[in-house]
Amino acid sequence: MTDFIKLAVLFCLFCPNLFAQRIQPDSLEQNIDSEFNYKKLIIPTALISYGFIGLESEGIKRFNMQMRSEMNAIRKRGTYIDDYTQYVPMVSVYALNAIGVKGKSNFKDRTIALGTAYVIMGATVQGLKRLTAIQRPDGTAYNAFPSGHTATAFMAAEFLNQEFKEVSIWYGISGYVVAASTGFLRMYNNRHWFTDVVTGAGIGILSTKLAYKIAPFVKKMVFGDKDFFRGIKIDFHGGETFGVVLSASF
């Protein structure tokens, strides 16, 4: 099992370069569609809906138990690799850029989008954990629903996909392979039910898609008018006295 995940991680980092064509980065404003395509929300919405239905559906609860039994049957020992694989797709974005493969956004813009996605995802996951209080399969706590590791992994996979889908489709595919492996390992380690993982995946994907839509507004609120920052000047004066003069043009 561990060897499979290692291969998935290596695939995520390096295989897409065989198919990639480099492009120049653009700003968030240039890369976000003026009209939001609601069809892109169908899959994550369906995943989240399945999880919520599973909170009450006896049939889905039985399926959860069946999945747990199958995982218990194949598990020899637990692994902590899912604590790291959840971050692989997002780290890959910066690693690929560092070696010269350009995504659609520059460093500042993609970091704003990622930070926005993380806030949306984190707040949603933690809020639902407190609200639902579902017991984990291993009985250790009442915060199973949804899976935070899985949500992080799929948020990161969609982040990788958003940045490099115009370069090569294989970047997004490899990111989702790693994300799916993370979700599988959460069940394999007896930490989450199937519905926890499915819902986490939906939340992760949806968080990133929404983040790229609202990131330009976040950027404007946080950083304001670029011209203002360009007008700031800092002058150093030496001699008998030393001072710093800060001036700004409005």
Degrees (nearest 5) of the Cα angle 246, 249, 250? Answer: 135
The pLDDT of residue 225 is 53
pLDDT score for 37: 76
- DSSP for residue 191: S
Q: What is the pTM of this model?
A: 0.79
> What's the topology of domain 2-247?
Vanadium-containing Chloroperoxidase; domain 1 (1.20.144)
Q: How far apart are the two ends of the chain, measured CA to CA in Å?
A: 60
- Exposed / middle / buried, residue 131 (Cβ in 10 Å: 0-12, 13-18, 19+): exposed
Amino acid at 44: P
SS3 60: helix
What does the pLDDT read at residue 28? 58
pLDDT at 50: 98
Place of tokens 């968030």: 28
Contact between 166 and 21 (Cβ < 8 Å) = no
DSSP state of 105: B
Residue 39: predicted pLDDT:
84
Radius of gyration for the alpha carbons in the chain, expressed in angstroms and rounded: 22
Residues 6+ apart with CB under 8 A from 25: 102, 103, 104, 105, 106, 109
H/E element holding 116?
A: helix 107-132
Task: Say what the pLDDT of residue 20 is.
Answer: 42
Residues of the chain predicted below pLDDT 50: 1, 3-26, 31-34, 227-250
